[in-house]
Amino acid sequence: MKQFATITVIGRDKTGVIARVTNFLFEQHANIEALEEQVTRGQFSMTLQASWKKSELNSDLLRDGLKNLAAQLGMEIKLRFTEPNRRQKFAIMVTKETHCFNALMAAKLKADAALVIGNYSDFAPLVKKFKLPFEHIHWNDRAKAENRALKLLEENEIDFVVLARFMKILSPNFVWRFKNKIINIHPSLLPSFPGPQAYRQAYESGVKIAGVTAHFVSMRLDEGPIISQGAFAITPGMGLKEIVARGQKLEADVLVKAVKLYLGKRLDVYWGVVKEV
């Protein structure tokens, strides 16, 4: 039997980080199963999957060594032991609209919703019906709010995050820690009509087809890799209220579809474009 672990390294880019980490793991008898790294705007991020024969793993020595290495590099290094075939745990972030959350709860997903974070307390009674933990975080101070949210995600061992019409912009600091693991639903056919008033923009522009886009969140607002889209026709005489209603139903369907594609391990992001594999 093997013991598996995920190791994440985040911080300012510098020479030799990958070599330092992998050499240390080699000394700890680790087999590196997968490694992904990127540098954006001077920020380095690496996610590494490793495994050990259980007889060769000294978890205390591993933790202490990674802690010392993090201090030497001036970077954040986190270790999490995992099982390769376990069900993933996800968090849902919400504001006030309930349609996407309800759709996720009704869907038969091969993952477990483990936490709901909302920036309004009004959502608490609905979450309670599903017997899920709810954390209300004021978002007046974004840095403080995000630090609290990140701590909760770590404590609950969250694998990925779903933004179910969460109407707050996440900073690069937050997004960086969940590269291609934050799924958002946007009420337009991106790249058209980014921003919070997408339906109104579509209505005022007189477009004949509107739609929604599920995408991975990147450090650029509403520009992340597109996972799935859906569209509907805007017929003559259709008002803004009707457009919003049609769009909201489609939002729920497309978001659930995107999560299922993600869980089915059918998505690969290559140079900022999602490809089904």
**Which residues are designated catalytic?**
222
State how far the Cα of 97 lies from the Cα of 102, in Å rounded to an integer.
Answer: 10
DSSP SS3 for 176: helix
Query: 236-246 burial by CB neighbour count: b if 16+ within 10 A, else e?
Result: eeeeeeebbeb
* Element holding 124 (H helix, E strand): helix 124-129
State how far the Cα of 277 lies from the Cα of 274, in Å rounded to an integer.
Answer: 9
Q: Which residue has the tokens 């058209």?
A: 192
* Residue 107 and residue 116 in contact, taking contact as beta carbons nearer than 8 Å: no
Contacts of residue 99, Cβ cutoff 8 Å, sequence gap at least 6: 165, 248, 249, 251, 252
Bridge-partner residues for 3, per DSSP? 52
* Element holding 204 (H helix, E strand): helix 198-205
Q: Is 88 exposed, middle or buried (0-12, 13-18, 19+ CB in 10 A)?
A: middle
Q: What are phi and psi of 86, to 5 degrees?
A: -75, 160
Q: Which residue has the tokens 């997408």?
A: 198
Bridge-partner residues for 77, per DSSP? 9
